[in-house]
Structure 1
Amino acid sequence: MHDSPAHPSLLDSLGLHLSAGQVTTLALALFGLTYLMILLEKYVHRTVAALLGACAVMLLGLLTPDQAWGAIDFNTIFLLFGMMNIVNVLSRSGFFELVARRALLVTRGEPVRVLWVFSLLTAAFSAFLDNVTTVLFMAPVVVTVVTRLGLKPLPYLIAVIIASNTGGTATLVGDPPNIIIGSVAGKGFGDFLVNVAPYAAVVTVLAVGMMHLMMRRSGALAGTFDADNLRRVLTDPTPVKTDARLMRQALAVFGVTLLLFMVGHPLGLEAGLIALTTSTFLMLIADLNPAELFESVEWTTLLFFMGLFVVVGALEHAGVFTTVAQAMTGVIGGDVGRGILLVGFGSALISGFVDNIPFTISMAGVLREMQGAGGAALDPLWWALSLGACLGGNLTLIGASANIVVSDIARREGHPMGFGAFMRYGTPVAVVTTSVALLLYWAVYRLTA
């Protein structure tokens, strides 16, 4: 256990002096209560739950405010904040509306093409933006398109969720668990491209293929539109409002950002600093009002992360991660291949029922402790965690942030997405894609170790 806080806590002031074991128990209890509130988001907003947990950690003296501030991983916060701003500028330029209109023309209104084109487009965007941001603009577009074509929106929205999670698995910036892993483990953009992207690409195509089969069986690929309606949709004369100059600037800065992600790690440049710098430069050259742009930042997501980092920081301060890491090291027994399966499938199962963000934050702390003893030989466990946490997010409706975001959009558009309706498609896809990705990775490790 780390040194106790220098300043007296509320408990100290009340004459309640806790032992090391009691501090550990209290940290675990607060973590569990925070998790429970996150699961009960119907009653307590997840950001409020995380901030309440963080406040309790400081009030009870598990961390001082200074220690709590130090527990926040600002590389992750800066990366999310910077990418949100770049995406917001792209959105203001009309880029996403233009892409959606072109994608609709490519589909020619055929349901199968709509499924594949919009799913793969979502996966591609999710790999280079973050998947939460991607579904925020893709989901309303998909609802509009499939409704005009006389199709049932829910299966297509579920396909968007699944594609965003599988596509986002591929890169450092694609899915929040990867952002956390990259920051905690010190991994760069290129590391994810080499160790995770090939498996993510394979299972993305597999996932869309499975959705195709299941939707055909359920009749979701059968539309009710006639030829005249289809022609009217495809020849919509309403012009897309675009700002060509702003679009060029945003795409140029986005390209430079991705390039710096690839070459920055060996130069000692953290991804968060790169995204913060390039997004700030974009605001400068684009001559945008920062106050207006910042209104579109998902502050609730950023504060959710910050609160969770503080709650998880209390676990680390109490020595919980060291204890769990020692236990896992004993179970793995030096067999990294066994560790890949244990961490990967365990992460997928847990991420399916509790949001994969808080799970990854806590599990990353455990793996960091393990690697302190095992060194670079345990690197494969980070990639197993990435595959398991990201792909396992498709298991249930509450498995990943993108799922919840699309569910909220669907409800707002008049198409509520039930837990069971999502699992009818998401659970089989998650089981198959996670198994394929992890077993492929395990086989490659065994062959090359």
Structure 2
Amino acid sequence: MHLSQNALMGWAIALFVGTYVLIVLEKYIHRTMAALLGASVMMALGILTSKQAWSSIDFNTIFLLFGMMNIVTILSHSGFFQLVADRAVIFTRGDLTRILWVFSLLTALFSAFLDNVTTVLFMVPVMIRVTKQLKLNPIPFVIALVIASNTGGTLTLIGDPPNIIIGSIANKGFNDFLIEVAPYASVAFLLGLMLMQFLMRRAGDLKAKVTPEELQQILHASSQGQFDYPLMRKALVVFALTIVLFVLARPLGLEAGVIALLTSTILALLTGLSAAWIMEKVEWTTLIFFMGLFVVIGGLEHTGVFAIIADHLQVLIGQDIKQGILVLGFSSALISGFVDNIPFTISMAKVLKDMQTTLGPAMDPLWWALSLGACLGGNLTLIGASANIVSADLADREGYKITFFGFMKYGTPVAFVTVTVAVLLFWVTHAVMGLQ
């Protein structure tokens, strides 16, 4: 169309907003089709060439999703999730508040050492089985796991993609995140979980739906299940190997997506299950949604929208680190709630890297403010983080639809509280008390 750079930028923003509106209006169009429409129009207008669109897709994320979906499919086929669900019901004695806390704590812990998507692929099917046994609506409980996953992933270097990006560009290690980010994320997690409990109790989600007699029958049935233990052992061994390789990925020079693709293929070969059957279980709508969304966001990045946002933030921050903590923390959370936090974190991290050459170690608090905002802000909306979309599709497959506004009913207030508490607590510690 031979448009000017400013015109291309305007079209890219308009297409992103249009795609976002269609995703919000999911009653009329599926979010995968909305993402595909936005991506195809982005290329049709010439904002991105097909080659640029292809390169804007983060295939590490796609491979990671694909590989872990296959591992989870085989684990599910062995009866593993049913086994965990049965044991969870027995352990909690069907107490709904205890179920909420136990599963949320486990999810946060797993997310600190795995990526968020792997954790929800693992935990959401278990939660759905437990709630279905107790005749509950799984949706609020699934959203609680998503929130716990995103918050728990903030704790460590390897828990959330923004932290991995920050660690790489800023040359920060695992212990740096444990010291500078984990304490504030931990406080945010506990407050967020208490708020989630309050919201669910007020909505009647924590009210028992089974009689004591029915509960006893469920507890008895939970100890009588039949499972394919040989298949389960193979799947768990490969799953454990995958986790170990995730932890060792950086020293080995391997990406998480490559590891998941390799280990899931090895597991499929070991089990002898039909490749066609395994492929049918893959959440293809989720993968294609992410590919389309990556292209739409790639249009914003390619036309310089993120660079302009980062430049404006740099002007606002200047050399005032105290103000920078607040500006960067809250703006990162807001932006990450509505666009993928990976390209934004990359753009902002490059700006901070430039600032570091003049300010030196004094600007280190800005790295941690970026981490807290980008990771915790993912709970703001349904498309704020990859784990949100994956969990929604897992629930949809079981017949439970998590709508955009249905997610915001819980996610938005929890995100507001956790971001506010974590960023302000971090600001008080570093800016007011002068601790580093």
What TM-score does the superposition give when structure 2 sets the normalisation length? 0.81
Q: Which residue pairs with 1:6 in the alignment?
A: none
**C-alpha distance in 2 between matches for 1:69 and 1:407:** 25
Counterpart among 84, 94, 113 of residue 99 in structure 1 = 84
Q: Which residue pairs with 1:348 in the alignment?
A: 333
Would you say 1:76 and 2:61 are equivalent positions?
Answer: yes
Q: Which residue pairs with 1:242 in the alignment?
A: 227
How much has 1:236 moved relative to structure 2? 1.4
Partner-residue secondary structure (3-state), 1:232: helix
Q: Which residue pairs with 1:257 in the alignment?
A: 242
How much has 1:101 moved relative to structure 2? 0.7
Count of aligned positions: 427
Equivalent AA in structure 1 for residue 267 of structure 2: L
Percent identical? 56
Kindly tell me: are residues 189 and 253 of structure 1, through their superposed partners in 2, closer, same or farther at Cα, counting changes over 3 Å? farther
Kindly tell me: are residues 39 and 347 of structure 1, through their superposed partners in 2, closer, same or farther at Cα, counting changes over 3 Å? farther
Q: Which residue pairs with 1:37 in the alignment?
A: 22
Matches within 5 A, 1:74-223: 74-127=59-112, 128=114, 130=117, 132-134=120-122, 136-147=124-135, 156-170=141-155, 196-213=181-198, 221-223=206-208
Kindly tell me: are residues 241 and 389 of structure 1, through their superposed partners in 2, closer, same or farther at Cα, counting changes over 3 Å? farther
Q: Which residue pairs with 1:28 in the alignment?
A: 13
**C-alpha distance in 2 between matches for 1:75 and 1:182:** 17
Q: Which residue pairs with 2:351 in the alignment?
A: 370
* Runs (5+) with no aligned partner, structure 1: 1-10, 12-16
Matches within 5 A, 1:191-340: 196-213=181-198, 221-223=206-208, 225-236=210-221, 239-340=224-325
**C-alpha distance in 1 between matches for 2:255 and 2:336:** 27
Equivalent AA in structure 1 for residue 64 of structure 2: L
Q: Deviations over 1:313-354 (max 9, x none)?
A: 2233223333222221111113445333323222333455x3
Kindly tell me: are residues 49 and 414 of structure 1, through their superposed partners in 2, closer, same or farther at Cα, counting changes over 3 Å? closer
Equivalent AA in structure 1 for residue 151 of structure 2: T
Matches within 5 A, 1:402-413: none
Kindly tell me: are residues 267 and 175 of structure 1, through their superposed partners in 2, closer, same or farther at Cα, counting changes over 3 Å? closer
Equivalent AA in structure 2 for residue 162 of structure 1: I
**C-alpha distance in 1 between matches for 2:179 and 2:143:** 28
- Check whether the contact 1:153–1:415 (CA below 8 A) recurs between aligned residues: yes
Equivalent AA in structure 2 for residue 431 of structure 1: F
How much has 1:137 moved relative to structure 2? 0.7
Kindly tell me: are residues 33 and 411 of structure 1, through their superposed partners in 2, closer, same or farther at Cα, counting changes over 3 Å? closer
Q: Deviations over 1:266-309 (max 9, x none)?
A: 34222222222222222222333222212222222222222222
**C-alpha distance in 1 between matches for 2:206 and 2:7:** 57
Counterpart among 392, 396, 417 of residue 377 in structure 2 = 392
Equivalent AA in structure 1 for residue 129 of structure 2: V
Q: Which moved more, 1:434-443 or 1:409-418?
A: 409-418
RMSD: 3.7
Partner-residue secondary structure (3-state), 1:236: helix
Q: Which residue pairs with 1:67 in the alignment?
A: 52
